[in-house]
């Protein structure tokens, strides 16, 4: 017998090896999700989490401050946001005993990469559906952006709302937007390596303060029939998230955006007007009311507008064509959205079960394997439990096209 160890290619692959490889592939195949904050909880590492498990995300308080020597104590509103793990998603495959003799690279290419691509696609798709919670917007519905101005204006709105100006700002657009922008601006993206990538791969790279990525899961929004101004029927109270209208509220669809032409956004730190109308997104509507975000706060720690709309004030829809379809790219800071994951339980009574969690990437994936004696196959299931949360909607903006 040889004293040399058997090579990996001739060693039967274990469930642990396959699970670790799956996690690495998942991290590499995520697109939109790669740029967001990810929260992994090891609290459920022993018994495992399940659908409905909640993780609590803390948000820091915000203060107004005082001028002068007189003490003016403010309440510390230290809020916690629940992130519920709503989705267990997975892919089920079966392979033969002979397949287990493959090298990990061959096994990965044949089975794991196609399976993980499906998982990554689902996670990205769900995350990009959060566009309906984002009110700041730029671009023109129905017109693919061909200049940098919509992206620059999106960055302006994020900055005006207190988003950090750092290296963790991202842009996620659809394939058409990427193609139009690369064609129009090849040579403007620096450094030289990124210019080269545009020619070789058709990618935008980094520009105007954002790391660009293309994702085929970018949402397409169908606007309602509201295309002309409506009038408010009463002055809303401070902190209101709805306004009465005489009629026509049902013309809005959830996710539509609008402005009150007389209401301007304010900087959250100095609370002075930005000179730009505050954007709002519709969350619900009836014939006589429109519900929206963000709340109308004209004073206090969480002030976001310079004034409240008066009775009779106009509501101006962003879209001007009834039922228009519009791509909804996203500009966002890393902290705008959070993907939460937790460990799924490891079942007994099976051939093998393994779970790999990576706090750095914020991901946890589980694989369970059984044996089918009739067909001599190894049925195998791959699962991830996750949930999405918009934590700081003001740190994001929609790029409409």
pLDDT in tens, 319-368: 999 999 999 999 999 999 999 999 999 998 888 899 999 888 899 999 99
**pLDDT reading at 190 higher than 60:** no
Distance, in Å, from the CA atom of 224 to the CA atom of 391, rounded to the nearest integer, reads 26
- Which residue is listed with tokens 């287990």? 100
Structure tokens that stand for 54 in this block: 């909640």
Q: Verify that 269 and 364 share a domain, yes or no.
A: no
User: What confidence score (pLDDT) does residue 70 get?
Assistant: 78
**pLDDT reading at 85 higher than 60:** yes
- Write down which residue in 276, 299, 323 finishes a domain: 323
**pLDDT reading at 95 higher than 90:** no
**pLDDT reading at 203 higher than 70:** no
Q: Verify that 341 and 315 share a domain, yes or no.
A: no
**pLDDT reading at 60 higher than 70:** no
Share of the chain above pLDDT 90, in %: 64
Position 39 in a domain: yes
User: What confidence score (pLDDT) does residue 317 get?
Assistant: 96
Q: Verify that 56 and 113 share a domain, yes or no.
A: yes
Position 151 in a domain: no
pLDDT band at 6 (very low <50, low <70, confident <90, very high): very low
Q: Are strands 352-358 and 219-222 parallel, antiparallel or unpaired?
A: unpaired
Q: Verify that 243 and 356 share a domain, yes or no.
A: no
Distance, in Å, from the CA atom of 328 to the CA atom of 60, rounded to the nearest integer, reads 29
Q: Verify that 102 and 36 share a domain, yes or no.
A: yes
Cis peptide before 191 (omega within 30 of 0): yes
pLDDT band at 80 (very low <50, low <70, confident <90, very high): confident
Q: Verify that 21 and 114 share a domain, yes or no.
A: yes
Q: Which residues contact 294 (CB under 8 A, 6 or more apart)?
A: 135, 241, 278, 280, 304, 393, 394
CB neighbourhood size of 79 (10 A): 10
The count of domains in the chain is: 2
**Would you say 155 and 138 are in contact if contact means Cβ atoms under 8 Å apart?**
no
Structural domain span for residue 234: 224-323
pLDDT band at 10 (very low <50, low <70, confident <90, very high): very low
**pLDDT reading at 32 higher than 90:** yes
DSSP-based three-state secondary structure for 23: helix
Distance, in Å, from the CA atom of 344 to the CA atom of 353, rounded to the nearest integer, reads 11
Q: What is the DSSP letter of 230?
A: E
Roughly what angle, to the nearest 10 degrees, separates helices 113-128 and 15-29? 40
Position 315 in a domain: yes
Q: Widest CA span of the chain, in angstroms?
A: 92
Q: Give the helix, strand, coil percentages of the chain, each rounded to 5.
A: 25, 35, 40
pLDDT band at 236 (very low <50, low <70, confident <90, very high): very high
Q: What pTM did the predictor assign?
A: 0.87
Q: Verify that 17 and 114 share a domain, yes or no.
A: yes
> Which stretch, 34-48, 177-191, 276-290, has highest mean pLDDT?
276-290
Q: Verify that 240 and 293 share a domain, yes or no.
A: yes
By C-alpha distance, which of 356, 349, 345, 342 is closest to 14? 356
User: What confidence score (pLDDT) does residue 270 get?
Assistant: 85
User: What confidence score (pLDDT) does residue 193 get?
Assistant: 56
- Of residues 265 and 197, the one with the higher pLDDT is 265
**pLDDT reading at 247 higher than 50:** yes
Position 305 in a domain: yes
**pLDDT reading at 278 higher than 50:** yes
pLDDT band at 150 (very low <50, low <70, confident <90, very high): very high
Position 51 in a domain: yes
Strand blocks (E) in 203-324: 206-207, 210-214, 219-222, 230-231, 240-244, 257-266, 273-286, 289-296, 314-317
Structure tokens that stand for 193 in this block: 């390596």
Mean pLDDT of 131-143: 97
User: What confidence score (pLDDT) does residue 8 get?
Assistant: 38
- Of residues 184 and 177, the one with the higher pLDDT is 177
CB neighbourhood size of 144 (10 A): 19
Structure tokens that stand for 86 in this block: 């709503």
* Mean of the per-residue pLDDT values of the chain: 88
Mean pLDDT of 260-278: 93
Distance, in Å, from the CA atom of 385 to the CA atom of 51, rounded to the nearest integer, reads 7
- Write down which residue in 300, 323, 346 finishes a domain: 323
Q: Which of 38-47, 107-116, 321-330, 360-369 has the lowest mean pLDDT?
A: 38-47
Q: Verify that 33 and 125 share a domain, yes or no.
A: yes
pLDDT band at 199 (very low <50, low <70, confident <90, very high): very low
Position 72 in a domain: no
CB neighbourhood size of 123 (10 A): 24
- Write down which residue in 270, 288, 323 finishes a domain: 323
Strand blocks (E) in 105-249: 137-139, 169-173, 206-207, 210-214, 219-222, 230-231, 240-244
Distance, in Å, from the CA atom of 255 to the CA atom of 319, rounded to the nearest integer, reads 11
Helices (H), strands (E): how many in the chain?
A: 6, 21
> Which stretch, 80-84, 189-193, 208-212, 280-284, has highest mean pLDDT?
280-284
């Amino acid at each position: 017998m040889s004293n040399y160890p058997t090579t990996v290619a001739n060693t039967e692959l274990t469930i642990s090896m396959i699970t670790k490889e799956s996690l690495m592939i998942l991290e590499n195949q995520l697109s939109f999700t790669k740029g967001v904050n990810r929260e992994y909880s090891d609290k459920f590492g022993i018994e495992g989490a399940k659908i409905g498990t909640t993780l609590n995300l803390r948000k820091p308080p915000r203060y107004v401050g005082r001028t002068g020597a007189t003490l003016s104590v403010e309440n510390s509103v230290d809020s916690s946001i629940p992130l519920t793990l709503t989705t267990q998603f997975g892919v089920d495959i079966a392979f033969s005993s002979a397949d287990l003799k493959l090298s990990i690279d061959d096994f990965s290419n044949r089975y794991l990469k196609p399976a993980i691509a499906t998982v990554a696609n689902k996670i990205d798709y769900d995350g990009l559906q959060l566009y309906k919670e984002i009110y700041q917007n730029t671009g023109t519905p129905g017109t693919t952006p061909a200049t940098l101005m919509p992206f620059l204006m999106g960055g302006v709105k994020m900055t005006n709302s207190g988003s950090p100006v750092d290296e963790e700002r991202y842009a996620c657009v659809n394939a058409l937007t990427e193609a139009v922008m690369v064609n129009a601006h090849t040579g403007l993206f620096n450094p030289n390596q990124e210019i080269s990538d545009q020619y070789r791969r058709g990618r935008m790279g980094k520009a105007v303060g954002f790391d660009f990525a293309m994702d085929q899961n970018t949402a397409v929004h169908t606007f309602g029939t509201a295309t002309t101004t409506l009038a408010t029927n009463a002055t809303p109270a401070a902190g209101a998230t709805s306004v009465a209208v005489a009629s026509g509220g049902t013309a809005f669809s959830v996710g539509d955006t609008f402005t009150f032409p007389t209401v301007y956004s304010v900087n959250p730190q100095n609370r002075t007007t930005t000179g730009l109308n505050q954007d709002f997104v519709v969350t619900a509507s009836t014939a006589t009311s429109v519900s929206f975000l963000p709340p109308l706060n004209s004073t206090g720690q969480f002030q976001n507008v310079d004034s409240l709309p008066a009775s009779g004030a106009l509501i101006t829809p962003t879209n001007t064509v009834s039922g228009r379809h519009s791509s909804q790219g996203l500009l966002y800071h890393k902290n705008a959205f959070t993907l939460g994951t937790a460990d799924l339980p490891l079942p007994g009574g099976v051939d093998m079960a393994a779970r790999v969690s990576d706090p750095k990437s914020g991901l946890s994936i589980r694989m369970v394997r059984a044996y089918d004696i009739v067909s001599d196959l190894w049925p195998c299931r791959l699962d991830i439990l996750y949930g999405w949360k918009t934590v700081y909607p003001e740190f994001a903006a929609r790029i409409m096209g």
